[in-house]
Amino acid sequence: MRKSLQLQAEMAQEFGACVFDVTLDCEDGAPVGGEAEHAALVAELALGAAPGARVAVRIHPADHPAFAADVETVVGRAGQRLCHVMLPKAESVQDVEQAARALDAAGAPRLPLHALVESPAALHRAFDIAAHPRIQSLSFGLMDFVSAHGGAIAAEAMGVQGQFTHPLVVRAKLEIATACHAHGKVPSHCVVTEIKDAAAFRAAAQRAAREFGYTRMWSIHPDQVRIVLEAFAPQQQDIERAAQIVVAAARADWAPIAFDGKLEDRASYRYHWQLLERAHQTGRALPGEVRHWFQPPHH
């Protein structure tokens, strides 16, 4: 956890912005019987994070005995330093409601929730979960999802190749991405456990971004972070074209225009604006004529 926070601070200095979140894990990261001590450490690390750092916490599931204590300890002590709380094994809207009430009681009524969809039943309710106003993002829990099928899905479906070809896993990924986009939420792609094969990981990240509609992706090793940023960032020529179109649209007061012999209107303006937002969020340099729209105001 400390290494992740250190890497985040170093890359924030390099890019001039915090380009990835660090999620401190109370679920799988805590030893059995040591949940309370681990939660206290997570709260301490969150409070000590660098200014501007985006630090989140994954708490235990809503039905776990340590759930309430996680929220009380981490959110109660460090809620003001967290960017969101990750709720694993969110099976229903009721689980989200329970977590939201717990955050409220811990003094963090505006803290967003992210949820992990990790079972067939949760997948069935993904649209309802994504619609909840407290939910900011859905993530796919690949390994738990495969395990939830009781051996009906082969272990290869958890690998870097199989997860993009097995029909049930592909369907799950597409359902989660669609549920998020339907409700204006962020779809976050699952982990890829091959940490030594950079080429395979890069191919997976590119497929997640370009074919499956994901706009974020989990990494589980420092070497994966830059590959994710690269895969999810727009290409430089697309950034430059988007900037030109948005500038021309602004000059026309957002009326339809002709650009390079093609019609551009508000539907395409929104697309190009979102492309520029994604470029900014992934640490890409924006052309000078649009940079002012994405810089925080000075006080």
- Binding residues are 58, 118, 144
> In this structure, are residues 86 and 23 in contact, taking their beta carbons and an 8 Å threshold?
yes
Beta strands in the chain, from DSSP E residues, in sequence order:
22-25, 55-58, 82-87, 113-117, 135-140, 186-189, 216-217, 257-259, 262-264
71-84 burial: b if 16+ Cβ within 10 Å, else e: bebbbbbbbebbbb
Per-residue DSSP letter, 111: -
Annotated binding site for Mg(2+): 118, 144
Distance separating alpha carbons of residues 219 and 192, to the nearest angstrom: 7
Distance from chain centroid for Cα 15: 19
What sign results for the dihedral spanned by CA atoms 207, 205, 25, 279?
negative
Contact (CB, 8 A) for 90 and 115: yes
Question: How do strand 257-259 and strand 216-217 relate by DSSP bridges?
Answer: unpaired
Annotated binding site for substrate: which residue ranges? Answer: 58, 118
Residues ≥6 apart with Cβ < 8 Å to 115? 86, 87, 90, 95, 96, 129, 135, 137, 138, 139
C-alpha distances (whole Å) from 45 to each of 30, 76, 86, 222 are: 14, 14, 17, 18
Report the C-alpha gap between 65 and 21 in whole angstroms.
27
**Is the Cβ–Cβ distance between 70 and 26 less than 8 Å?**
yes
